[in-house]
Amino acid sequence: MLASVAGGRGAGSALGSFARFYPWPGVRYVPILDAPWDNSVLATRRDDPNPEVQTFRTLAAAIARDLSPVLLPGRASEHT
């Protein structure tokens, strides 16, 4: 997607953190301040035997809990 945007052949939407983690020459991230709230999800098989998958799920859940009040001031309680 980023290559298409940089090449003038596309547009897209992304999480706010993309600007920080995925800087790309020719791409400008523009916040949409009145966009409706949406959720991001992580889907894995519950019975996945790979210990790295379980570790990632645990870390992702912990980070989401820790960042919710920072990213959603005043709305964190709605998503806990």
Can you give the pLDDT at residue 32? Answer: 84
Range 58-63 average pLDDT: 89
C-alpha 77 chain-centroid distance: 19
The encoded tokens of residue 20 equal 């920080």
Q: Is pLDDT above 80 for 76?
A: no
Q: pLDDT by residue (tens digit) across 18-60?
A: 888 999 999 999 988 887 777 777 888 888 899 999 999 999 8
Predicted pLDDT of residue 69? 60
**Residue 78 confidence (pLDDT):** 47
Q: 68: how many CB neighbours lie within 10 A of its CB?
A: 16
